[in-house]
Amino acid sequence: MKNVLLIDFGSTYTKITAVDVDREEILGTARGVTTVETDITEGLNQALKVLFSQTGKLAFDKVLGCSSAAGGLKMVAIGLVSELTAEAAKRAALGAGAKVLGVYCGELSEYEIAEIADLKADIILLAGGTDGGNKEVILHNAQMLATLHQDVPMVVAGNKSVAPQIVKILSTEMSEVEHTENVMPKLNELNILPARETIRNVFLKRIVQAKGLDKANKMVDRMVMPTPAAVLKAAELLSKGTDSEQGLGDIMVVDIGGATTDVYSIAKGNPTNATVYMHGLPEPFAKRTVEGDLGMRYSAVALLKASGAKMIADYAKASESAVNAYIEKVEGDIDYLPQTEEEAGIEIAMGKTCTRLSAERHAGYLETYSTPCGMTQVQTGKDLTEVKVVIGTGGVIINNAEPEAILQGIEFDSANPLTLKPKNPEYLIDSQYIMASMGLLSEEYPDAALRMMKKYIIRGNQSWT
Amino acid sequence: MENSKTKIVLGVIGADCHAVGNKILNYAFTAAGCEVINLGVLVSQEEFVNAAIETNAKAILVASLYGHGEIDCRGLRDRCQEAGLGDILLYLGGNLVVGKADFTLVKKKFMDMGYDKVYAPGTLPDEVIDDLKNDLSKRGILM
């Protein structure tokens, strides 16, 4: 018997999962309130007390943690052209599990520097230029960033030819400047893994302490990564499998929260139709997008603005005025839960709308050109039509009575056939909320983590292995 | 070293999917010692410009084979100027207009749009390579 404790320090709750790695079983889960302002171990102890009341006193061989507490990992991404290195930098930050506060391109102005200063990022990622390409702009931007007069940890991932100069310029003002491989070494060639890794290292070294999470160190062996990075890792493992245990192939994961909706896809996303041309930046195999205007509470009004009342009302089979009234209510009282059948229906419809819009933005799309060579289709982004497994995780989905109804928003829409969403997915629910924990566990026990996800992430009431 | 080679951006502009000549030019210019950033077919003006900015390319080589050259190619020089690439070399070639037109007139039309060189159908890569070498050396760049 080998017990491991996995901790997710969330913005509101500290969620813990105790597992027996040898038997590949969950011993218990519990949560306490996150107490990052005072002492983070208070909330953790509170959760442990709840856990032990179910399981009896347990000893742990290993304790691993991930965190999105104190605002998560807040980042600013800077590149040269908005569709190229700035986009690559943004994707690297998202893949590292960050909340991206701003993306900047071109030469930074004094106004933008003031704006960046106000954003108070935990880490700034500076990219720009392909290797051997443009040098002037990233040099200019480094010089401007040196006038921030904030000691922000910097990750430099731009044109390698000027990396030493950039590091030198930034090091005059910042105490933590790490450089890594270019996020776009050649045009249209995405290389975000080294930047992701460096961001994660800086997070461990600096941010954990800065956010008061290091107080947990006396109880936690290792604070491994930001929570979204743990979910991405778990999803990647579940998709790809290990040497000894098969994965599920292409999958998507949806996590709806009060303020944002996260979508993950683990798939190459190549065209399913051989005659289609690919266009634009290549997509990361493991891709995460975050929509800051799609959420159930803090972002409820923004959601309404993005979708219009009709979409939600149609899903809920309610009137538009009822939708407007409900959204006004939950915006004013974020702890509000649906009290009537109609409200419950609107709540599900809001979730379905979050899923739909976030999936539409995440998935690739086709454009049709009539050319002298006939009709030609061009694909930008990932073709996810053949993704067969969609997983719902996070409180909003797993605590809902009809999680599948919320996830159905991800489905391919024949009225909008150019958006390449999954055609016939099967829905699985992370009902015990273990994905982030399993991402942590996979650091040390990938096979056990994979088998436990297969066992505990289920369809309806049955395991699907 | 790979990265010290002169970089040029190559592509077929507009809704044009003629890929064969593009591959030949890519091969010829690579053999001539350039680093070719080949954007392939169906390339928009914006993509040409963005690629040249990020890679610090010295020339953009535009092909248009399907007769819509006039519509597609107009304004590329302005875009380059707008993006701070003002004097980048712009070369253009292919079947630029439909039907039998006097090439001197066609050439003038496109030169007036701001292209530095305009090539008639049937031009061989070697001629373009020589021109590029000359134009670059006038700017103090060795290809």
Point out the domain boundary residue: A165, A191, A220. Answer: A220
Number of helices (H), then strands (E), belonging to chain B: the values are: 6, 5
Tell whether A168 lies on the interface with B, counting CB pairs under 8 A.
no
Q: Are A142 and A166 in contact (CB under 8 A)?
A: yes
Q: Is A133 exposed, middle or buried, given 0-12, 13-18 or 19+ CB atoms closer than 10 A?
A: buried
Q: Do B54 and A372 touch (CB under 8 A)?
A: no
Of A80, A369, A370, the CB nearest to B54: A80
Q: State CA A73 to chain mean position distance.
A: 11
Per-residue tokens: B108:
């003038």
Same domain, A436 and A399: yes
Q: What is the pLDDT of residue A211?
A: 77
Q: Which residues on B lie below 8 Å from A370 (Cβ)? A: 15
Nearest-by-Cβ selection for A81 from B16, B53, B66: B53
- A168 lies in some domain: yes
- pLDDT value of position A460: 55
The last residue of one of the domains, among A170, A192, A220, is: A220
The verdict on residue A306 lying in a domain is: no
- In a shared domain, residues A33 and A111: no
Domains of chain B in sequence order: 2-138 (3.40.50.280)
Instruction: Tell whether A318 is covered by a domain.
Output: no
Per-residue pLDDT at A20: 96
- Among A220, A254, A280, the domain-final residue is A220
Cβ neighbour number for residue A412 with a 10 Å cutoff? 18
Query: Within a domain: residue A155?
Result: yes
pLDDT tens readout for residues B17-70: 888 999 999 999 999 999 999 999 999 999 999 999 999 999 999 999 988 899
Q: Which residues of B are part of the catalytic machinery?
A: 16, 18
Beta carbons within 10 angstroms of residue A111's beta carbon: 8
Q: Do A60 and A100 belong together in one domain?
A: no
pLDDT score of A463 = 42
Q: Chain B contact for A56, CB < 8 A?
A: no
Q: How many residues in total does chain A contain? A: 465
One domain for residues A57 and A127: no
Is A23 among the domain residues? yes
Given an 8 Å threshold on Cβ–Cβ distance, is A84 in contact with B54? yes
CA separation for the pair A389, A457 (Å, rounded): 11
Question: Residue A130: which of B39, B42, B54 has the nearest Cβ?
Answer: B54
Task: Verify whether the Cβ–Cβ distance A161 to B3 is below 8 Å.
Answer: yes
Distance separating alpha carbons of residues B11 and B45, to the nearest angstrom: 10
The pLDDT, as a whole number, for residue A277 is 85
Q: Do A81 and A180 lie in a common domain?
A: yes
Does A232 contact chain B (CB < 8 Å)?
no
φ/ψ of residue B11, rounded to 5: 180, 165
A20 and A156 both lie in a single domain: no
Note if the pTM is more than 0.80: yes
- The length of chain B is 143
Instruction: Estimate the share of chain A in helix, then strand, then coil, as percent rounded to the nearest 5.
Output: 40, 25, 40
Q: Which domain holds residue A251?
A: 237-292+353-456
Q: Which residues of B touch A369 (CB under 8 A)?
A: 15, 42
Strand A3-9 and strand A13-20: pairing? antiparallel
**Does a structural domain hold residue A22?**
yes
Same structural domain, A165 and A201: yes
Q: Do A372 and B50 touch (CB under 8 A)?
A: no
Q: Which DSSP category does A11 fall into? A: S
If one counts the domains in chain A, the total is 3
Among the partner-chain residues A187, A279, A371, the one whose CB lies closest to the CB of B37 is A187
Could you report the per-residue pLDDT of B67-103, keeping only the tens digit for each?
Answer: 889 999 999 999 998 888 988 999 999 999 887 789 9
The answer to whether residues A243 and A358 belong to one domain is: yes
Provide the CATH number for the domain around residue A189. 3.40.50.2300
Positive or negative, the CA dihedral B5, B6, B12, B13 is positive
User: If contacts are CB pairs under 8 Å, which of residues 180-199 in chain A contact chain B?
Assistant: 184, 186-188
Top residue of B41, B53, B85 to mutate, by most chain A CBs within 10 Å, is B53
Q: Is the pLDDT of residue B8 over 80?
A: yes
* H or E element, residue B28: helix B20-31
A122 and A166 part of one domain: yes
At residue B3 the predicted structure's pLDDT band, cuts being 50, 70 and 90, is: low
A373 shares its domain with A261: yes
Identity at A242, one-letter amino acid code: T
Q: Which residues of A touch B17 (CB under 8 A)?
A: 277, 371, 373, 376
Q: What distance in Å separates residue B130's CA from the closest CA in chain A?
A: 24
Return per-residue pLDDT of chain A as tens, 465 residues. 799 999 999 888 899 999 999 999 999 999 999 887 788 889 999 999 999 999 999 999 999 999 888 778 999 999 999 999 999 999 999 999 999 999 999 999 999 999 999 999 999 999 999 998 999 999 999 999 999 999 999 999 999 999 999 999 999 999 999 999 999 999 989 999 999 999 999 998 887 887 777 887 778 887 788 999 999 999 999 999 999 999 999 999 999 998 899 999 999 999 998 888 888 888 999 999 999 999 999 999 999 999 999 999 999 999 999 999 999 999 889 889 999 999 999 999 999 999 999 999 999 999 988 777 778 888 999 999 999 999 999 889 999 999 999 999 999 999 999 999 999 999 999 999 999 999 999 999 999 999 999 999 987 544 444
What per-residue confidence (pLDDT) applies to B1?
42
Average pLDDT for chain B: 92
Is A242 domain-assigned? Answer: yes
Phi, psi at A29, each rounded to 5°: -130, 155
- Tokens 């998202």: give the residue: A94
